[in-house]
């Protein structure tokens, strides 16, 4: 027997329509590439989104067309999120930090029809335009007065597209499983792989985020997404913020510690979201100034594992740290580590122990761990296994890439994350390592993540990474690579001694290498692929 309720398709345009009607005065503040700060509201933004949707229609954009963006976090990029998908097309965000080869592959693979580009990235387009589809049209995201003198033909101006258009739009009806967004992985091995989000998955993800993170996502809060709009939907914030009434403070391209501190301080940002490398820079600035930015009280950390020392540094200063985990293929949120009420009164060290985990699953995401034979492992907090997930916000395949798709799902349709993890009886997820980053020495596994967390507790270490190097006797041995703080000179013996207090002798790195700076991937993580290429046999 079926229920007797109306069925209305879940659509992305309804999120901003709701935000504009229910929270009209909530703000979007943007540091612009033009050099100033732009302020607007959800109500006024909704009107501009309608104008942009009319403009896209006038340019011949139809349902299913891929419309690309190459831009920083700002109000125009936010408008594109809604106008593109709301009108039935697919918003394809491109990471400007990708290599020229990867970017060219992505644009051609997606067969983009339009590319909206911030003025900052026009030189990239000029360089690569000849390798992209001939019918691809370029729109520069600025007004007529700031249009660059680009060596490109038939370039359009963003504000010209909106000018004179109606401020309301009759959003079309279509099935809720229609494609809405496209995001490619950074392609650390092989070509980048595309995840194609639907309206249904995106709306469900926004709803789940609001339920899961009510301390961050609520009316009156001001949120700083340092996580970029060009990667995995800025962790869903463009959708969950209007749904909850939270204001968005977009930083543009200045993501150094000083710039972020000044912006957060001026705008009284309460919650900031981003990867650990960004927060290391902010913490250095906080230490130098001897205080937090005004109003700052909440930090969401994801993208890669947050170290214990980073969590402690913010928690000691009264900032709640929410360690989160997810993947591009998961929309991306999978778990979050705000502690349940029963654990908030634990001693400080025990709370940090918990917050160092990846936390508990969000609604709609299921998790399991299995051994090498695919057999389920107990959730006892002791037994590791390969982590698999499934849910309404998890991909079913990679976009037009059957070869990549066939290797990542088990017989029951669960998605293989590539992580090795443990799950305890309380449902807390502990990522042990990426499968490809585990070090197998003498038949025993060594976790690079465990070693890195210990080394990061040393006050003289700014960042570090542990990689496997070949060994004729033990197969692989760990190599520790360290980026020291500017005002410190940690010694090899100090770091190995610190590790010797916590791990077995056979797990100790055979050597320590000091570098000026660790290489980062396009999404701000330490690039272990680059380090393996640089130190193929541990040689400096």
Higher pLDDT, 521 or 22: 22
Stretch 302-314: mean pLDDT = 91
**Catalytic-residue membership of 445:** yes
Element (H, E) at 434: strand 429-434
Q: Tens digit of pLDDT for each residue in 510-528?
A: 999 999 999 988 778 888 8
Residue 189: per-residue pLDDT = 60
Q: Tens digit of pLDDT for each residue in 416-473?
A: 998 999 999 999 999 988 877 888 787 777 888 889 989 999 999 999 999 999 988 8
Confidence tier at 31 by pLDDT (50, 70, 90): very high
Stretch 184-212: mean pLDDT = 91
In whole angstroms, give the CA distance from residue 184 to residue 95: 9
Distance of CA 499 to the CA centre of its chain: 30
In whole angstroms, give the CA distance from residue 270 to residue 537: 46
Stretch 482-505: mean pLDDT = 93
pLDDT of 539 above 70: no
In whole angstroms, give the CA distance from residue 108 to residue 131: 9
pLDDT of 380 above 60: yes
**Catalytic-residue membership of 350:** no
Higher pLDDT, 475 or 248: 248
Q: Tens digit of pLDDT for each residue in 52-64?
A: 999 999 999 999 9
**Catalytic-residue membership of 27:** no
- Options 329, 414, 452, 521, the catalytic residue: 329
Range name among 104-108, 501-505, 511-515 with the lowest pLDDT average: 501-505
Helices (H), 152-252: 158-162, 199-212, 237-244
How high does pLDDT run on average in the chain? 94
Q: Tens digit of pLDDT for each residue in 50-96?
A: 999 999 999 999 999 999 999 999 999 999 999 999 999 999 999 99
- Options 127, 268, 436, 440, the catalytic residue: 440
**Cβ proximity of 431 and 423 under 8 Å:** no
355 CB-near residues (< 8 Å, 6+ apart):
311, 315, 321, 322, 323, 337, 339
| Token pair for 323 | 């360690």
Q: Among 244, 217, 196, 224, which residue's Cα sits nearest to residue 85?
A: 196
Domains of the chain: 13-28+40-198 (3.40.50.12780), 254-435 (3.40.50.12780), 438-534 (3.30.300.30)
- Options 41, 285, 368, 445, the catalytic residue: 445
Residue 538: per-residue pLDDT = 58
In whole angstroms, give the CA distance from residue 204 to residue 199: 9
Q: Could you give the percent of the chain with pLDDT greater than 90?
A: 84
Residue 188: per-residue pLDDT = 57
In whole angstroms, give the CA distance from residue 9 to residue 7: 7
Residue 381: per-residue pLDDT = 95
Stretch 229-251: mean pLDDT = 97
- Options 45, 93, 142, 185, the catalytic residue: 185
In whole angstroms, give the CA distance from residue 93 to residue 129: 17
Per-residue b/e over 193-222, b at no fewer than 16 CB within 10 Å? bbbbbbbbbbbbbbbbbbebbeebbeeebb
**Catalytic-residue membership of 483:** no
In whole angstroms, give the CA distance from residue 22 to residue 356: 36
**Cβ proximity of 222 and 277 under 8 Å:** no
């Amino acid at each position: 027997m079926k229920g007797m309720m109306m069925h209305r398709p879940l659509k992305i345009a309804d999120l901003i329509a709701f935000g504009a009607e229910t929270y009209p005065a909530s703000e979007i503040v943007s540091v612009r590439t033009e050099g100033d700060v732009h302020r607007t509201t959800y109500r006024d933004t909704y009107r501009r989104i309608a104008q942009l949707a009319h403009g896209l229609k006038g340019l011949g954009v139809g349902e299913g067309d891929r419309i690309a963006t190459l831009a920083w976090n700002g109000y125009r990029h936010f408008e594109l999120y809604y106008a593109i998908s709301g009108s039935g097309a697919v918003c394809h965000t491109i990471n400007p930090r990708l290599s020229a080869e990867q970017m060219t592959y992505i644009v051609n693979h997606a067969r983009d029809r339009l590319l909206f580009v911030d003025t900052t990235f026009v030189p990239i387009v000029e360089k690569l335009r000849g390798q992209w589809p001939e019918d691809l049209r370029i729109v520069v995201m600025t007004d007529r007065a700031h249009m660059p003198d680009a060596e490109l033909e038939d370039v359009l101006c963003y504000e010209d597209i909106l000018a004179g258009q109606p401020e309301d739009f009759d959003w079309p009806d279509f099935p809720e499983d229609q494609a809405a967004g496209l995001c490619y992985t950074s392609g650390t091995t092989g070509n980048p792989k595309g995840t194609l989000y639907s309206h249904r998955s995106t709306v469900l993800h926004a709803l789940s985020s609001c339920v899961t993170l009510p301390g961050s996502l609520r009316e009156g809060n001001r949120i700083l997404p340092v996580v970029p709009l060009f990667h995995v939907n800025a962790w869903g914030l463009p959708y969950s913020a209007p749904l909850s009434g939270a204001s968005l403070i977009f930083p543009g391209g200045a993501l150094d510690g000083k710039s972020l501190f000044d912006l957060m301080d001026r705008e009284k940002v309460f919650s900031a979201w981003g990867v650990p490398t960004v927060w290391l820079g902010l913490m250095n600035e906080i230490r130098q100034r001897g205080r937090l930015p005004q109003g700052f009280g909440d930090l969401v950390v994801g993208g890669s594992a947050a170290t214990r020392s980073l969590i402690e540094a913010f928690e000691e200063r009264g900032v709640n740290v929410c360690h989160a985990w997810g993947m591009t293929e998961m929309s991306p949120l999978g778990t979050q580590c705000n502690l349940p009420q029963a654990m908030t009164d634990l001693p400080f060290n025990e709370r940090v122990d918990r917050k160092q985990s990846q936390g508990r699953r969000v609604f709609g995401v299921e998790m399991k761990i299995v051994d090498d034979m695919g057999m389920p492992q107990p959730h006892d907090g002791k037994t590791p296994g390969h982590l698999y997930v499934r849910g309404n916000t998890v991909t079913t395949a990679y976009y037009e890439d059957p070869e990549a798709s066939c290797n990542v799902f088990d017989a029951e349709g669960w998605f293989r994350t590539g992580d090795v993890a443990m799950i305890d009886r309380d449902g807390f997820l502990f990522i042990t390592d990426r499968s490809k980053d585990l070090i197998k020495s003498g038949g025993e596994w060594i976790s690079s993540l465990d070693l890195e967390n210990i080394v990061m507790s040393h006050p003289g270490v700014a960042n570090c990474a542990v990689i496997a190097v070949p060994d004729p006797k033990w197969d692989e041995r760990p190599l520790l690579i360290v980026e020291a703080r500017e005002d410190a000179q940690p010694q090899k013996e100090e770091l190995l001694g610190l590790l010797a207090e916590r791990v077995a002798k056979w797990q100790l790195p055979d050597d320590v290498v000091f570098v000026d700076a660790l290489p980062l991937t396009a999404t701000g993580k330490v690039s272990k692929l680059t380090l393996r290429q640089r130190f193929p046999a541990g040689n400096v």
